[in-house]
A and B are shown apart, each in its own frame.
Chain A
Amino acid sequence: METSLDIQAIRKDFPILQRQVNGQPLVYLDNAATSQTPDQVVNTIVDYYHGYNANIHRGVHTLSQEATDAYEIARQKIQKHFNIAHSYEVIFTSGTTHGINLVATGFTSFLKKGDEIVVSAMEHHSNIVPWQMLCERTGAVLKVIPMNQEGELVMDAYHDLLSDKTKLVFCNHVSNALGTVNPIEEIIEAAHKVGAAVLIDGAQAAAHIKADLQALDVDFYTVSAHKMCGPTGVGMLYGKQEWLKKLPPYQGGGEMIAEVTFEKTTYADLPHKFEAGTPNICGGIAFGAALDYMNNIGFDAIAHYEDGLMQYATEQLLSIEGLRIYGTAKNKTSVISFNIEGIHPYDIGTILDKLGIAVRTGHHCAQPIMDFYKIPGTVRASFSFYNTKEEVDVLVAGVKRAKNMLV
């Protein structure tokens, strides 16, 4: 197993890492919000617009055929990457939020008053709000899997929540605010025992963990390309074919129909039933290129390297007096959320930005987690395989400097 990376060679693929911010070399540690895009992916986008930009699935002309082929090859790359049984179980979306909304809307007719849906306490708002809206439409009740101080789900409580009333369970694979890797194998297996379907939000996991969706036996899994070296505005929703056949279409339009008369429309087969309108063709193709890029480096090597970086950053940050890390799960990846006693995270983020260091501050679209810890937010440093130990040192020195200024 290859686990060593040539980071300097990798960094050359990302010209943005060479730029300066506020007169300082950029240290980009906001990878959990969006990852940077390597030349290989950017070139794919340029090649598309220079060479074969055309609408897909409908033209008889050569460009349309080339674009259609490239788009469908990208779908197959996604299928292979996530070990999905059939390529038509891969639905191109605009991103994770779109995928979640597609499923939440589709379940409206399957739920009735008194049914229960279970969500984890550490979800992103995009994996809370669509389900709350679903509850409002159907009278179903939302139940929450609690978490402990370390930021791990309390699995005994989860098992107690499950009953024959449970129809749906949804949880993120990795928490964007805390970095916790959730025990989704156990979550999926237990939900299936009571006949509930499971949706896993893989947005935060996808850049670090290569999920085998057939082995997981998950019903739905959704990711965004921009968190794994791809462009924004494109993602994928995986659904088991029996679910995708049952779910009604999400949007009406071109591409998703088989036959239209003013009396009746019959819908197209999978996956087109869920892909109304002209999709983000170039984005889909570039998503495939991003998967190629990451797989070329290798997910084992990436995980090994990022774990080392996170351990090092954790040790170094904890040497700062008054610094507390939120999210200390035994199984976590690539995210360090922290505060310094008596200092607002916004102030630290502002000073770090002046030093060229990009971190996220605030509630990370996960207000329930901040309420749990009774804090307004955190400073979040999130790592990618192109970050270095030297950048961690710059971060730690920056946090120390901010602390000196602000205390």
Chain B
Amino acid sequence: MATPLIVSEVAKAFTMHLRGGIRLPVVANVSFSIRAGECAVLGGPSGAGKSSILKMVYGNYGVDQGQIIVDHHGQLVDLATANPRTVLAVRRDTIGYVSQFLRTVPRVSALDVVAEPLVARGTARDEAHARASELLGRLNLPERLWSLPPATFSGGEQQRVNIARGFITDHPVLLLDEPTASLDATNREVVISLIEEKKLRGTALLGIFHDADVREAVADRIVDVTTFAAGKAAA
């Protein structure tokens, strides 16, 4: 299928029960789709709901209304209503995610953190480690760090571990939440070329990039999130 991800009329609000039930609308009527081999970038100022959209697509945030249809092994799954087990299967095989911050687990080495998504899909540990080493090498993470848990790494080092972890698999859909925020120019270039390679291989990418240079280099299309402002739909 040439359009692995379709977001249709999605709405999201937060209800703050501890604050007297205040309802904070985030987005409404979010509709867009991404084709294979395309990189769409969510555009708009902070607070427009870019991250919330990304998190809904990953199943990390609940969806109040609408559908998020993903092609999972040739079957169409609606992530807005899928049960937890289906969401986990989609994450394992279909939708990858590079989060803004790495959630570190004590005592697990950087190499294992990166290799884990492959191991979870049944790749032999040696082969997964080889792929992980290759990616960490490309991202210029010093080799002496590979066997250490990333908890003590700098922000940029952790981010590179996170990027390697997200890019190691061949998931048909890849979500990127500011993957270049704390990288230097050299490593930003590496990420841009990694994204180009994904596109050539037919991955559908959806990202948030505050860095204008990176955005211009990778974006095929900007999805303007301000048009989904929840207030607008109500007014």
Partners in one complex: no
Interface residue ranges, B against A (CB under 8 Å): none
